[in-house]
Amino acid sequence: MATFRGHLRRNKASIRSGAGGDYIYKPIWFAYSLWKLFLVKYMTATLP
């Protein structure tokens, strides 16, 4: 999970910086896309 969060943080930072489409960080970690599908809904959930 720590590896995923590091890659996600770098990805969001590159998008936030205003980098062009060719320069946005793209993780090469083999499980990133699977973890993203699974974890993002839990990481962005809000409390009632």
The answer to whether the beta carbons of residues 39 and 4 sit under 8 Å apart is: yes
- Please give the helix or strand (H or E) that residue 37 lies within, else none: helix 32-43
Q: Are 34 and 3 in contact (CB under 8 A)?
A: no
What pLDDT is stored for residue 15 in this prediction? 85
Q: How far apart are CA 10 and CA 29, in angstroms?
A: 13
Domain residue spans of the chain: 2-43
SS3 state of residue 39: helix
pLDDT (tens digit per residue) in 1-48? 788 889 989 988 988 888 777 888 889 989 999 988 888 777 766 655
CA dist 24 and 3 (Å) reads 18
